[in-house]
Amino acid sequence: MAGVERNVPLVLTVLLCCMWMGDAQSHGDVRLTSGRTGYLQIYQYGVWKYLCDRPQFFTDQSKGAKVVCREIEYPTDNPHTWNDYHSYYSYITGRVECNGTEATIQECKHLPNSNQRCHNNRMHITCSADDPCLSSPCPEDHTCTKISDKRYECKPVDHCALSPCHHGNCSQGNDTDYTCACQPGWAGRNCSEDINECEENNGNCDHACVNEEGSHRCQCRTGFRLLENGRSCGECLINGNRCAHTCVNSSCAHSVHCQCHRGYLLGENGYSCKDIDECAKKKGGCEHLCANTPGSYHCTCRDGYYLGRQKRRCFQQAETITDECTCRLRVKASHTGLGPSLVDLVTLKYGEKILWAVERNHRTAYKVVEKHPNFLKTRKRRENAEEIDTYHDNETLSQGKDCQKMYQNCPRDCMRMSELLLGDQGFDRLTETSVYGHPVNSSFGQLMCNRLKKRVSPPGVTVMVSFYPRGCGSEVSFYKLPSLLCCEKISSPLLAGYFYLWNKKCSVGYDFRSLFRAM
């Protein structure tokens, strides 16, 4: 047994030397258990271990403690050290000689082990000796100030020095409190809550009120201008006509002029706005095809090409398209089969290695993972997804391996694309459509009501995502969207008939008919 006792300290000394020769980030770091004071520990192989200090770890405890305080960035010329006995911790033995000027204990001289038995004594160091404030003697919301080695003073915390009032002036109250005098437009304990002035009397605006941080501003409808008081709206007339887009106050007093939105040109009459055909000049910079839209334009590519990231150049598809499937939105039918088709979301084209997509009203295919980098990270199916087993035993599965691949991939990919294309906005997401041959932007909800042409009262109907594997059988509905669809049938004397309006407040049971009856 005596031989074992002599060899144990020697083995631990070898481990400690290896520890100091290793990476400083994972081996050899030192710390005190309570910041600038506490028991000395060294990090060894993923564990913080106490130092056995009997026999002494440092040949000179005072000099060794100075090095420790310097290494943990609490340098002091007069550290306080003491030892105590504890038998329930991991200990390391060894002998280190420091002269007190080293930056870390790794720079100290490592002596051979004394081969003495460890008595489980821990070394305690205080890097600011005789500081009575180290024990945190003051109550909460007070700071401690050292007067002498044994005397201290507790003073109330100056809350205002911390600038707690985000938009206001701070006043120190009693010892533990403060108050904020908020600037106009702000409220709350720390003047950090914006007041929505538009909620009260429309912010005293004639037309529209727009809330801003700490303030608000008034806006006028098309054909009107904001008067000098910043609240009232006066009719903006140019040669007796209202501005088609925006009325702007001129630099001259009581003078106004019309301004058009981006992508439009002001007419010679001074009030009308004409769409700029960007495609008329060098195809708008498009390499293949240019499509003009109201106030804008976009580039497309010929079949067999896809649009690059800059939305101008076209690149040839380097692989053969093997399969296609179309993802659609449909009303869930109350009987077996498919409900009415509402919107074609996207057509997926499966290449040998790349998945391509062509969105509705577009001709150009794009690489799905380039436009939607998170495509492959979306969940395979939500909890409310409805599996329909009809396509598993569909007779088309016998048509070959390609059709099996389609029935395995299309449902998952259509679900992912519906989530990406609708996003957090859901049916409120805008999409391009046409009215009387003119391209306009419309919400998916309104577009579906236009196609459905049927009144649907709250709580609404379920909208399903379906997929149609071209050349591999029939279309199948398989995934239920979380939002319900409501459409209101509105009588219009102007149209001598009816039109259908999407009810976006379907989920809360809001009925548009009561609004129109009151008008």
Q: Could you report the per-residue pLDDT of 194-233, keeping only the tens digit for each?
A: 889 898 889 889 888 999 888 899 988 766 777 778 888 8
**Residue 433: how many other CB atoms lie within 10 Å:** 19
Q: Provide φ and ψ at 490, rounded to 5°.
A: -115, 130
- CATH number for the domain harbouring residue 223: 2.10.25.10
Dist. CA 265–CA 352, nearest whole Å: 47
- CATH number for the domain harbouring residue 185: 2.10.25
Dist. CA 415–CA 113, nearest whole Å: 68
DSSP tag of 383: T
Q: Which of 229-238, 382-391, 393-402, 467-476 has the lowest mean pLDDT?
A: 382-391
Query: Are both 61 and 88 inside the same structural domain?
Result: yes
Tokens of 509: 């049971």
Q: How many helices (H) and strands (E) does the chain have?
A: 6, 37
**Residue 82: how many other CB atoms lie within 10 Å:** 11
Winning range, highest mean pLDDT, from 20-34, 241-255, 457-471, 501-515: 457-471
Q: In the listed set 194, 210, 238, which residue is the last one of a domain according to the structure?
A: 194
Instruction: Confirm whether 379 is domain-assigned.
Output: yes
Percent of the chain residues topping a pLDDT of 90: 4
Q: What is the DSSP string of 396-434?
A: GGGG-HHHHHHHHHHHHHHHHHHHHHHGGGGGG-EEEEE
Q: Specify the higher pLDDT residue, 17 or 100.
A: 100
pLDDT at 5: 39
pLDDT at 279: 92
Using alpha carbons, select from 420, 412, 326, 341 the residue that is nearest to residue 374. 420
pLDDT at 3: 40
Tokens of 284: 């708008």
**Residue 364: how many other CB atoms lie within 10 Å:** 22
pLDDT at 40: 86
Asked if pLDDT for residue 297 goes beyond 70, the answer is: yes
Q: Specify the higher pLDDT residue, 44 or 265.
A: 265
Give how many domains the chain has, as a whole number.
4
Task: Say if CB 486 and CB 508 are below 8 A apart.
Answer: no
Query: Are both 189 and 94 inside the same structural domain?
Result: no
Task: Say if CB 123 and CB 53 are below 8 A apart.
Answer: yes
pLDDT at 209: 92
pTM for the whole thing? 0.40
Asked if pLDDT for residue 306 goes beyond 50, the answer is: yes
Burial 23-48 (b: 16+ CB within 10 A, else e): eeeebbbbbbeeebbebbbbbbeeee
Query: Are both 260 and 171 inside the same structural domain?
Result: no
**Residue 462: how many other CB atoms lie within 10 Å:** 20
Quick one: average pLDDT of 151-161? 80
C-alpha dist (Å) from residue 155 to 137, 140, 174, 433? 12, 10, 12, 69
Asked if pLDDT for residue 1 goes beyond 60, the answer is: no
Q: Specify the higher pLDDT residue, 519 or 358.
A: 358
Query: Are both 240 and 213 inside the same structural domain?
Result: yes
Percent of the chain residues topping a pLDDT of 70: 76
Mean pLDDT of the chain: 76
pLDDT by residue (tens digit) across 6-20? 333 333 343 344 433
Dist. CA 501–CA 488, nearest whole Å: 5
pLDDT at 240: 66
pLDDT at 93: 62
pLDDT confidence bin for 286, thresholds 50/70/90: very high
Query: Are both 440 and 484 inside the same structural domain?
Result: yes
Query: Are both 330 and 452 inside the same structural domain?
Result: yes
Max Cα distance, the chain (Å):
113
- Cα 246 from chain centre: 34
Q: What is the DSSP string of 37-101?
A: EEEEEEEETTEEEEEP-SS-SBSSHHHHHHHHHHHTT---SS-EEEEEE-SSS-EE--EEE--S-
**Range of the structural domain that residue 116 is part of:** 2-126
pLDDT at 255: 66
Query: Are both 50 and 170 inside the same structural domain?
Result: no
Q: Provide φ and ψ at 488, rounded to 5°.
A: -105, 140
pLDDT by residue (tens digit) across 345-384? 988 888 777 888 888 877 778 888 888 887 876 544 333 3
pLDDT at 133: 74
